[in-house]
Homo-oligomer: A and B are copies of this chain.
Amino acid sequence: MPGESPSRPSMVWDAWGIPSAHAPLPEKVRTLLAQVFGVSGEAVARRDEGNVPLRASVLGPTHVAGLSALVGPDHVRVDHRARLLHAGGKSTPDLLRRRDLDPQDAPDAVVYPAGHDEVLAVLAYCAEQGIAVVPFGGGTSVVGGVDPARGRFDAVVALDLRRLDALTDLDPVSGAATLGAGLTGPQAEELLAARGWSLGHFPQSFEFASIGGFAATRSSGQASAGYGRFDDMIQRLRVATPSGTLDLGRAPASAAGPDLRELFSGSEGTLGVITAVTLRVHPVPETIVYQAWSFPDFGAGAAALRTVAQAGAAPTVMRLSDEAETGLNLARADDIGGESVSGCLAVTTFEGSAAHVAARSAEANALLAAAGGNPLGEQPAREWAHGRFAAPYLRDALLDVGILCETLETATNWAHLIEVKASVTAALTDSLSGQGTPPLVMCHISHTYPTGASLYFTIVAKQLDDPITQWRNAKQAVGDAIAASGATITHHHAVGRDHRPWLTEEIGELGVRVLRAVKQAVDPVGILNPGKLIP
């Protein structure tokens, strides 16, 4: 497959990540599962991808030839494996469907354009021929953002952007780099590191997600306190649409009208295909300092983080696990259920020059200590950093033994944080307990702002016979609870298919009409990512 290389591995079709990183559940976790949920911990074997029945492709040879004329015949694929690997994202319902349902749905073809002009040409072709297009970066969506939905069209193609993989410009004076949309996190960091630079965007999807996907979904990385959310980093966006090209962003800041970059950031492939992004980058940090803390409870820890965020003293990373997450030691994927700190664990890192790190950490540490934090040294923070991309693999191992595991997130003001956490937890607990499967609900803060913070929940429960419906019920309850609380339906997972029912609540009827008007201007036929984002 184009671009299947060691530096750009494809994830397996029915789980997160690459096979070599898959591992059975640690004994300690199996014991815990037996105690809490009464499950044996015996894993069900997964299916061989070669034998998975797939919906037949409806894209006829004429269209394959038409698309091949635009991108080259090697770059239009209709084979089983290519289609299967673009069958959707990596939410728990996605993975449950891969394990259970037949036939699997998949795009009718996968198209691999080589650059912006080829993307434009493919969009023009598909608009003319009435073929839906799902822009596809790393395929890491957990909200159905890359589902092969056809909308009102007969056929749908996945537009895999992996060939847009160049660092086309690095401006060391301004600290800005232009990166192809198809570069994954590690590829981008590798290209930058070779020149002494770093982007510093490390969401949990980092290893597989793409630059274009980060922009299209308003991704937020674990170092957001220091380097900002991905949308903060964007200097310039290049977007291909069925109506032509947009080049947006001419300066670090501008008052030249509405900021149209902010329309295409978060557009999730419904308004155009982001092909290149110019991003703020920084020199590879000279120094990284780790510091962990414990707080007596979540409220005290949250108040401490607030003090730091509001003083403008934020570390590069700042996070806080609640009592449940801390108690399970969930911040350490390799030692879950092992010995944990008491109370609530907070982790901070500081990056930059030695002088910057010294000045910042002195100020932040003083504030955290004054707010009741108990310093734990660097080890727990290093352990968190070491295991920070491992959780999605753990989810697969849990799904395999009959445990439902999923995450969701929101953000709100500091004043409402504890209340929102309580209502989300209650909605999840009530729904799942009501279905006969009382859950464990754990929570952490991983992104802080002067005015508020994110809340990230991990939910674990015993699976019912129909775990997809089981989770759908819980998700409906929790989405309604978040909307009713006034918090946002998503802080960094995006909207996709799964959060679309709540977008009208989020931006209002008129906001939805504005989005539809923009869509009509850039995608009048409506081929781009049908069924996602816009109600």
Q: Which of A253, A487, A488 has the most CB of B within 10 A?
A: A253
Measured CA separation A514–B243 after assembly (Å): 10
State whether A355 touches B363 (Cβ < 8 A).
yes
A304 on interface, CB distance cutoff 8 Å: no
Copy number in the complex reads: 2
Q: Distance (Å) between the CB of A499 and the closest chain B CB?
A: 7
Cβ–Cβ < 8 Å partners of A257 in chain B: 266-268, 494-495, 503, 506-507, 515, 533-534
A518 is an interface residue with CB less than 8 A from chain B: yes
- Residues B495 and A255 in contact, CB atoms below 8 Å apart: yes
A260 adjacent to chain B (CB < 8 Å): yes
> A40 within 8 Å of B by Cβ?
no
Partner of A450, one of B280, B411, B447, B516: B280
Which one of A5-13, A148-156, A306-314 contacts B?
A306-314
Report the nearest B residue to A224, measured CB to CB.
B253
- Among residues of B, the one whose C-beta sits closest to the C-beta of A363 is B359
Contact B219 A255 (CB under 8 A): yes
Complex contact A173–B414 (CB within 8 A): yes
Inter-chain contacts of A518 with B (CB < 8 A): 258, 514, 517-518
Whether A267 touches B262, Cβ cut-off 8 Å, given contacts A174-B451, A452-B252, is no
- Chain B residues in 8 Å Cβ range of A447: 253
CB nearest neighbor in B for A449: B252
**Residues 462 to 495 of chain A near chain B (Cβ within 8 Å):** 486-495
The answer for the CA separation of A356 and B312 in the assembled complex, in Å, is: 8
Q: A residues touching B (Cβ–Cβ < 8 Å)?
A: 171, 173-176, 217-220, 226, 229, 231, 235, 241, 243-248, 250-268, 271, 280, 282, 306, 310-313, 352-353, 355-356, 359-360, 362-363, 366, 410-416, 447, 449-454, 486-495, 499, 503, 506-511, 513-518, 520-522, 533-534
